[in-house]
Amino acid sequence: MAKFLRDRAAELADAAGASKFWRHPVVPTNGGEHLLGTCRMGDDPASSVVDRYHRSHDVPNLFICDGSSMVTSGRGQPTMTIMALAFRAAAHIKAAADSNQI
Ligand SMILES: Cc1cc2nc3c(=O)[nH]c(=O)nc-3n(C[C@H](O)[C@H](O)[C@H](O)COP(=O)(O)OP(=O)(O)OC[C@H]3O[C@@H](n4cnc5c(N)ncnc54)[C@H](O)[C@@H]3O)c2cc1C
């Protein structure tokens, strides 16, 4: 996967007109993985998968509460943000269930 992504990065750099690009070898690593992306969060169903409460735009009774809603790791370490968003989603799910909106 790292080799695949390195090659895609090379294509991006080339398309952007980079004059220098370093293609470092892929070596074993023992940590640092941040598992994010694939279910972008957003208000627009055309460009996102879940809304601000992690609720799927396409499947109303589906909540995806994990790191997949973040397509980048702006803060660096993502887990506290994943947890904060999950707490917010849980509060919203409870409120919606209490008012029979789920
Ligand atoms: C070695 C390492 C070190 C890290 N250090 C840090 C750090 O210091 N700080 C930080 O913020 N982040 C750190 N991260 C990143 C962070 O741990 C992840 O980004 C975060 O845990 C992702 O949360 P998640 O809920 O999206 O997925 P996960 O935590 O991977 O949770 C997914 C869960 O779904 C379960 N599951 C999978 N498939 C199924 C299935 N079919 N049915 C039922 N359950 C299923 C799995 O068993 C798992 O419990 C680290 C990651 C690694 C690997």
Cβ partners under 8 Å of residue 10, min gap 6? 21, 23
pTM: 0.78
Return d(Cα 48, Cα 36) in angstroms, integer.
14
Does residue 73 fall inside a structural domain? yes
pLDDT tens-digit readout, 19-56: 999 888 888 887 777 889 999 999 999 999 999 999 99
Does residue 28 fall inside a structural domain? no
User: What pairs with residue 41 in β-bridges?
Assistant: 50
User: What pairs with residue 63 in β-bridges?
Assistant: 55
Ligand 1 pocket test: which of 29, 34, 54, 65 has the largest number of ligand atoms within 8 Å of its C-beta? 34
What is the extent of the structural domain holding 72? 34-102
Cα(69) to ligand 1 centroid in Å equals 13
Does residue 9 fall inside a structural domain? no
Does residue 8 fall inside a structural domain? no
Report residue 4: phi and psi, to 5°.
-60, -50
Would you give the DSSP letter of residue 59? S
Does residue 10 fall inside a structural domain? no
Residue appearing with tokens 């279910």: 39
Q: How many domains does the chain fold into?
A: 1
